[in-house]
Amino acid sequence: MILESPDVPLDVLEGETGWVIRTEGACRGGVCVPLGVSPSSVTLDVLAERLGMGLVHDEKHQVWAVGPSSVSGRALESVEAPDFMLPDADGRPFRFASLRGRKVVLVAWASW
Amino acid sequence: MWQELRRELHGDGLEIVTVALDSAGAEAARPWIEAARPEHPALVDERHLLDELFGIVNVPTGVWIDETGTIVRPPEPAFSARPDWGEGLGEDPTEYQRRTVALEEQLLVEDAKYVAAVRDWVQHGPASRYALSPDEVLARSRPRGRQESQAAAHFELGAHLQRLGHGGDAVAHFKAAHRLQPDNWTYKCQAWSFVSPHLGPSDEYDSDWATEVERVGVERYYPPLDM
């Protein structure tokens, strides 16, 4: 996740990462991680620390990048396939979850 | 290559989705997609979203998802046919290109095994011995701690700067990603692709594809399928 400011609004965070900030902590998919602070005083630093997210700041360009959470120690935290929306080569968006009801082999490749 | 398998098994309930992990976007991927003439969704992932979502570290990589949206095989090398590595060499290949193709021909490619497993899964569903239990799927997915997440953040920042035309400033972030997660080939190849054709030697990076593959060993570039 790329940010132009370290003061990320919580609704933006939720939309980008799926982590919802509640009184009991940061929650996603039935897992809640205590944050040790009230929801109103949650900062990016606290979140990154508690959720095991990498956090990088580029001083020259004043851009921040936040890595994926790593609370389970594995890239897959759940066997529920994450939904995503990506375009085809002509820019037409495709929603992965639209394939429910079929078996899918998802194949990542690259031109490089 | 996937088109053929898709045509064979689509009537039995299988869909193939190919995703190009290409920071250079649709223009980079288009020639391949047009040549393959896919009837299945062929998508372009400029931001390497799938790297993070599934823990993909090399290509080609396949993930199986069943009818309920449950992952039944986590990322692993996925070939539907043996590639013709020398296909794009042209009339007068460089020494580096020849070296690359010689290495590629030694890589572990288990296309027949993979395709047979896909067929078995399509036929037998959850009863297929290739459909893994949830615990097995999670345990076989890539380890990810803070260090791997930090690598992902550096890679994303590098790709972001590259997109904005600050390729020079992207290099330090790409290098950090390479250092923090050395076995992520996607991070390496994508970064090298910006500065050198055929992922060859460059002024920006200390290594290149052929040198790294020789260092790691051709047999370890694609780990053996555990199936």
Task: Return the amino acid letter for B89.
Answer: L
Q: Long-range contacts of range B200-206, CB-CB < 8 Å, 24 or more positions apart? A: B200/B94, B200/B96, B200/B100, B201/B96, B204/B171, B205/B171, B205/B174, B205/B175
Q: Tell me the CATH class for B146-221.
A: mainly alpha
- Angle formed at CA A94 by CA A89 and CA A95, multiple of 5 degrees: 155
Give CA–CA dist A1/A14, Å, rounded. 11
Let me know if residue A75 belongs to a domain.
no
Chain B residue with Cα closest to A112: B193
The answer as to whether A101 is a domain residue is no
Q: Which domain does A17 fall in, by range?
A: 2-66
pLDDT in tens, B139-176: 999 999 999 999 999 999 999 999 999 999 999 999 99
Give the pair of three-digit tokens for residue A39.
């929801």
Domain count, chain A: 1
CB contact under 8 A, A58 and B59: no
Instruction: Tell me the nearest-neighbour CA distance from A15 into chain B, angstroms.
Output: 14
Kindly report the nearest CA distance between residue A23 and chain B, in angstroms: 24
Please indicate, yes or no, if residue A84 is contained in any of the structural domains.
no
Residue A29 lies in a domain: yes
| B95 backbone dihedrals φ, ψ, rounded to 5° | -60, -40
Residue written as tokens 């020789």? B214
pTM of the model: 0.95
> Is A79 close to B134, i.e. CB distance below 8 A?
yes
Q: What is the CATH number of domain B2-140?
A: 3.40.30
Asked whether residue A73 is domain-assigned, the answer is no
Residue B39 tokens, joined:
């009837």
- Spatial neighbors of B180 by CB under 8 A, at least 6 apart, are B147, B148, B150, B151, B154
Structural domain contains residue A50:
yes
What band does B67 get if pLDDT is binned at 50, 70 and 90? very high
d(CA A44, CA A66): 9
| Domain membership flag for residue A109 | no
| B29-38, B59-68, B194-203: segment of lowest average pLDDT | B29-38
**Is A78 a member of any domain?**
no
**pLDDT tens for each residue of B78-102:** 999 999 998 878 888 999 999 999 9
Q: Any idea where the domains of chain B sit in the sequence?
A: 2-140, 146-221
Helix (H) / strand (E) containing A93: strand A93-95
Contact B69, A80 (CB under 8 A): yes
